[in-house]
Amino acid sequence: SQFFRCRNSYCRLGVLPLEYFSNNSVFVCCRYVMERRWFEQWKEFVENGDQNSSSFPGQIDNSELFEDLDSYHLKERLVENEDFVLVPAEAWHKLLAWYGIVDGQPPLERKVVDLPSTLKVEVYPVEIFLCLHSNMENVITAQFSHSRSRHDVCLCAESIQRAMCQGFSVPPGSECRLWMKSSDSSCERLRNVHMSVLDACLSSGMTVIMETRNADGTWPSSRPQIMNSVEDQDSYRGQPGVCGLTNLGNTCFMNSALQCLSNTPPLTEYFLRSSYLEELNFTNPLGMKGEIAEAYADVIKQMWSGRHYSVVPRVFKTKVGHFASQFLGYQQHDSQELLSFLLDGLHEDLNRVKNKEYIELRDAEGRPDQEVAEEAWRNHRRRNDSVIVDTFHGLFKSTLVCPECHKVSVTFDPFCYLSVPLPVSKERVMEVFFVSLDPYAKPVQHRVVVPKAGKVSDLCSALSEMTNVPPSQMVVADVFNHRFYKIYNADESLSCILDRDDIFVYELSVQKEEQEEHVLLALYLRERSHYRDYGSGSSSYGTSLFGHPLLLSVPRSSCSHEELYNLFLRSLDQTEPLGGANANCTDNVNPLDSSRVTDTSSGPAAEQTQQPCETTEEENEEDKQEEACSPSPPANEQPAKRRACRKRRKTLFTIQAVNSNGTTERGVGEGGTQPYVAIDWDPEMKKRFYNENEAEKYMKHSSMEVPQQQTTVQLQECIELFTTVETLEEENPWYCPVCKKHQLATKKLDLWSLPEVLIIHLKRFSYTKFTREKLDSIVEFPLRDLDFSGCLLRKNRSREEPPSRYDLIAVSNHYGGLRDGHYTSYARNKDNGQWYYFDDSKVTYASEDQIVTNAAYVLFYHRQDKLRKPTLPSPITSPASSTEPASDITSCNDDDAELGATSYLTMETD
């Protein structure tokens, strides 16, 4: 019976080439190696038909294929059809059932490897060496297949990790990672343990090293830099999560965002449980090959190990810069921008959807909102399924209305955070200095309220109400470094003027409609510094600007040197309070300093200060002409005295034509109509007659005494403003499918469903075509019971749906302005419920009354039904109320923190 069973099943047993089965849909994923002589004897036995023939093969025997019968290791360089044959699995199992196998011999099962260009039976599997990072001398040898089969998990790189955990008795649940070491001693990380041995480029002779994560969240091979002193690294035990982050140079924006995410319970617990290891997506073209997720996991596990004062996130910073070039280097950035990139990167690295299908989006077309919303959410989850979607994604309704055909387009779009605008005031408070024509009045600082979108003329009008000077007699200028940075026209926008600019408003002697016969002259003050040019044998001098510049309206007919000199002398006395007595000279010019220049007409004082002056023939001739022209000169007015006054005036300063920078022109004009002149003081004369300290003084108007009201808005107002109707900008029109053209449609956003953790970004930085500013308004946001029930468009919710009340868990703060600033964060620890203040590597206790400030920038809210009670008692039972954080919890010397590794870093300037 056995004979006939074999004979009739001969072809069916698969004694045919491999190509026959692959071409006839009988392909199976494995073959069995058999010793060729036994197989040939079996064929002869079957073909002869003699049941008692001496060709009966007996038990299957592969002894000739092994080097020895102890290890059953295959001989090297065996040749198919000479030393062995390959039979399909079905044939092997039939033969094994009929004849059995010699005791002790293992079946030689081999996989069929799907190579890029052919199918091949893997007679010799990959033989690699396995060892632990902690003990490289203890090596075991193992064999693995190249197979690409996704259904055979034993053939993927994960099987190597399981074999190593079993062979080296690694405790269950330990987080491990593998490194491939080739013959040239270079090591490469084996990130995706789910890929086949072939795809991992493992070959015979290679060594695979496994390391397990340390208890403090670090890896043995990383040598991480932490901010504990060496002696404290092993002994320090702190509250998990209460850990600072070192500032690597303007990286406070990154530290603030990381601290907020670190204190988001569902995300942190997901990484602490190592759930991410099973969901790393290495094939997503939109992801970062799992590297961002792994780098973030390393930071979180170190921060929550409770064994570090502070962690140095250098590897994470490097990974972020590698995948997002805008964060390369050490410039200042925005914490919300980093947060947006990080959430998107984590989502794509952990996306459970390996192959995203194409889904055509549909408009509502009059369908009920509930139906359209459910369809949109299903479509979103078909392409996006990750812990980020589970935790942070919600849904809002977008309604567009065409202004021409009134076509209404309704879509439901997912969101990861809400960027809500702040109510912007239409008015602006400006501080300016008013320079009057009053001979002895100091500049007066005023605080005026002007339209934010107004013009310079509006500033003059507002100031006119305080000074009673007509706006037409005012000129506005920006003064910087003793010179005019800009002189504004009346029709220029106030958005050109920044709050930090020093703005001076000058009163003119005539109104603007009369200024055609006048010249607006800009006057600079300079001090000469003598030096000798030994090459030419002549003396020359350099100059340096000082004091406040002046703007004067000068008649075109009075621009002679003498008249300008007299005008400047009077202007200096009226704008720089340097004297008040009058000298009885012919032109009645006020001396600059009454304490030094005295009356030259008569009296002891005149005798004490009068100095003999040498006169030239030209001056004597001028005196004679003046006597002839004067009908009745005063009796006490002698030509010599007039000469003395003129001589003294000429030695106070000289006049030079200059450019707008205050440097002397040398026959080259600037092409503009605004003339600039400078008066150059001799250092000795300046010291005698110019009181620089007095000249810098100014008065404060009563408007400066009124405290500025800090603008306060409610978070609810910001959310309502987010959901109001707006018109699209010209740069972002909407294509109307009915009109067949782009339209500036009206757009309205409504909240439909909210996530477990809601991130609210307060849009403090305002950028328009005309203005750039940071809004420092205080946004009053609740720490508990933030209720969105009135904001959700979907009013009727089932009992199974989650509530819409949230509690605050973290805040990212920004201090400073547009060009510079510093980021910190407040966060509530998930384990003990205590609030902490994180300022880079420094961590302090915080009380709840400190959290709401005008620096709040990004808010993190956790839905109440997902909140859990703290598992540990709070370290502060009743935190003291204060305006500053309490005592330090984690702080240390940054010089010791990096163990000498950061000497090349720049100091933080943000």
User: What are the tens digits of pLDDT across the range 399-427?
Assistant: 999 999 999 999 999 999 999 999 877 88
Cα–Cα distance for residue pair 341/345, rounded to 1 Å = 6
Mean per-residue pLDDT over the chain, rounded: 78
Residues 509 and 467 both lie in one domain: yes
Residues 732 and 745 both lie in one domain: yes
Question: Is there a domain that residue 78 lies in?
Answer: yes
Residues 439 and 479 both lie in one domain: yes
Q: At what angle do helices 291-303 and 314-323 cross, to 10 degrees?
A: 160
Q: Is residue 659 pLDDT above 80, yes or no?
A: yes
Category of 731 on φ-ψ map: left (φ > 0), alpha (ψ -120 to 50) or beta: alpha
Cα–Cα distance for residue pair 416/398, rounded to 1 Å = 15
Q: What does the pLDDT read at residue 76?
A: 76
Q: What is the arithmetic mean of pLDDT over 208-237?
A: 70
Q: What is the arithmetic mean of pLDDT over 591-596?
A: 39
Q: What does the pLDDT read at residue 119?
A: 65
Q: What is the arithmetic mean of pLDDT over 775-804?
A: 81
CATH of the domain at 27: 3.30.2230.10
Residues 701 and 724 both lie in one domain: no
CATH of the domain at 773: 3.90.70.10
Q: What is the arithmetic mean of pLDDT over 12-36?
A: 55
Residues 748 and 766 both lie in one domain: yes
Residues 752 and 852 both lie in one domain: yes
Question: Is there a domain that residue 385 lies in?
Answer: yes
Cα–Cα distance for residue pair 372/618, rounded to 1 Å = 99
Please give the distance of CA 727 from its chain centroid, rounded to a whole number: 29
Question: Is there a domain that residue 348 lies in?
Answer: no
Is the Cβ–Cβ distance between 811 and 859 less than 8 Å? yes
Mean pLDDT highest for which of 210-224, 363-377, 623-637, 705-719? Answer: 363-377
Q: What is the arithmetic mean of pLDDT over 564-582?
A: 60
Q: At what angle do helices 252-262 and 335-349 cross, to 10 degrees?
A: 50
- Of 118-127, 336-345, 893-902, the least confident: 893-902
Q: Is residue 602 pLDDT above 70, yes or no?
A: no
Question: Is there a domain that residue 502 lies in?
Answer: yes
Task: Give, rounded to a whole angstrom, the gap between the first and last alpha carbons of the chain.
Answer: 92
Residues 208 and 147 both lie in one domain: yes
Q: Is residue 111 pLDDT above 80, yes or no?
A: no
Q: Is residue 499 pLDDT above 70, yes or no?
A: yes
Q: What does the pLDDT read at residue 396?
A: 92
Specify the number of domains making up the chain.
Answer: 4
Cα–Cα distance for residue pair 683/742, rounded to 1 Å = 69
Cα–Cα distance for residue pair 679/525, rounded to 1 Å = 5
Among the candidates 163, 188, 212, a domain finishes at: 212
Residues 778 and 841 both lie in one domain: yes
Among the candidates 157, 186, 212, a domain finishes at: 212
Residues 3 and 106 both lie in one domain: yes
- What percent of the chain is predicted at pLDDT more than 70? 74
Which residues span the domain enclosing 563? Answer: 426-531+542-573+651-662+674-709
Question: Is there a domain that residue 559 lies in?
Answer: yes
Q: Is residue 721 pLDDT above 80, yes or no?
A: yes
Q: How far is CA 720 from CA 725, 728, 749, 854, in A?
A: 10, 18, 10, 20
Q: What is the pLDDT of residues 692-702, one digit of tens each?
A: 788 888 889 98
Q: What does the pLDDT read at residue 375?
A: 93
Cα–Cα distance for residue pair 645/640, rounded to 1 Å = 9
Q: What does the pLDDT read at residue 795?
A: 58
Question: Is there a domain that residue 483 lies in?
Answer: yes
DSSP-H helix ranges across 421-513: 456-467
Question: Is there a domain that residue 137 lies in?
Answer: yes
Q: Is residue 710 pLDDT above 80, yes or no?
A: no
Residues 686 and 768 both lie in one domain: no
Q: How far is CA 745 from CA 58, 367, 415, 732, in A?
A: 87, 21, 21, 10
Q: What is the arithmetic mean of pLDDT over 603-629?
A: 40
Residues 117 and 154 both lie in one domain: no
As annotated, the active-site residues are 252, 822
Q: What is the pLDDT of residues 799-822, one digit of tens each?
A: 666 778 999 999 999 998 877 789
Residue 74 DSSP one-character state: B
Tokens 């308004």 locate to 777
Among the candidates 103, 121, 139, a domain finishes at: 121
In terms of pLDDT, which residue wins out, 858 or 202? 858
Q: Is residue 269 pLDDT above 90, yes or no?
A: yes
CATH of the domain at 130: 3.10.20.90
Q: Is residue 155 pLDDT above 70, yes or no?
A: no
Mean pLDDT highest for which of 124-138, 148-162, 486-500? Answer: 486-500
Residues 157 and 65 both lie in one domain: no
Question: Is there a domain that residue 168 lies in?
Answer: yes
Q: What does the pLDDT read at residue 771?
A: 60
Q: What is the pLDDT of residues 549-565, one digit of tens each?
A: 988 888 887 777 778 88
